[in-house]
Amino acid sequence: MPSTLPTSDAPTRYSSALILLHWLSAPLVVAVMALGWVAAATPDDQTGFMTHPQLMFWHKSVGLLILLLTFLRIGVRISRREPVAGGGGKLLETAATISRWLIYIALLVMPVSGYMMAANGHPVSLFGIAPLPSFAKNEARGDIAWNIHSTAQWALYALLLLHLGAAIWHAAIRRNGVILRILPRQNPRT
């Protein structure tokens, strides 16, 4: 039976690159969710500080940025060794691995389906800088993309609540240091 004790070559924390990508992605995911909800509640003809098209511009651009970061995260994750197991047992470690990969899948599906909706006869760009190809309007494809986007949205909410709940459980209840694997290093004061 393999040991979960640290070995000389088993890291005790995630790589600096993965930690950076995690903490860059987290606020962007919160922002894209907020932008989506506010845009959905904003009438198309509203004027003022942020119009519906402006909100959707930012929602789409941040979503595409999340897509790029997620591809980077997956690349970093598969190229680096996992940290030492958190001591929760094989079942919890397996559940954590599955939930992380489901979050990655949702973070890929959401922007791709969003792009399929947005580019359905309309131009799309990344922050107005990088134009992306659009395709001929197809109502059936747009409906399918919308259904995928909205289903993945609720799945992502559930997965993120599970992820946050597990982080709080490890940090506040178990106090086992698992959370330290993904936190940026703190320089000790001398």
Residue 59 lies in a domain: yes
Residue 190 lies in a domain: no
What is the model's pTM? 0.88
Q: What pLDDT, on the 0 to 100 scale, is given for residue 176?
A: 86
Mean pLDDT of 100-119: 95
**Which residues have C-beta within 8 Å of that of residue 124, sequence separation ≥ 6?**
60, 64, 115, 118, 131, 132, 134
Q: What pLDDT, on the 0 to 100 scale, is given for residue 26?
A: 97
Q: What pLDDT, on the 0 to 100 scale, is given for residue 79?
A: 94
Residue 145 lies in a domain: yes
Identify which has the larger pLDDT, 106 or 85: 106
pLDDT at 7 over 70: no
Q: What pLDDT, on the 0 to 100 scale, is given for residue 81?
A: 84
pLDDT digit string (tens) for 111-148? 999 999 988 888 889 999 988 988 888 999 999 999 99
DSSP 12-58: SS--HHHHHHHHHHHHHHHHHHHHHHHHHHS-TT--SSS-HHHHHHH
Identify which has the larger pLDDT, 88 or 162: 162
Q: What pLDDT, on the 0 to 100 scale, is given for residue 120?
A: 84
Confidence category of residue 190, pLDDT binned at 50, 70, 90? very low
Residue 51 lies in a domain: yes
The domain tally of the chain equals 1
* CATH assignment of the domain containing 39: 1.20.950.20
**Which residues have C-beta within 8 Å of that of residue 183, sequence separation ≥ 6?**
19
Residue 25 lies in a domain: yes
pLDDT digit string (tens) for 45-98? 877 788 999 999 999 999 999 999 999 999 999 998 888 776 678 898 899 899
Residue 141 lies in a domain: yes
Q: Are 67 and 107 in contact (CB under 8 A)?
A: yes
Q: In this structure, what DSSP letter does residue 181 have?
A: G
Residue 24 lies in a domain: yes
Residue 10 lies in a domain: no
Cα of 118 vs its chain's centroid, Å: 20
Q: What pLDDT, on the 0 to 100 scale, is given for residue 178?
A: 86
Mean pLDDT of 159-172: 94
Q: In this structure, what DSSP letter does residue 185 have?
A: P
pLDDT digit string (tens) for 9-52? 668 889 999 999 999 999 999 999 999 999 999 988 877 788 99
Q: Are 84 and 60 in contact (CB under 8 A)?
A: no
- Whole domain around residue 153: which residue ranges? 16-177
Q: How far is CA 176 from CA 18, 48, 125, 133, 181, in A?
A: 21, 49, 44, 48, 11
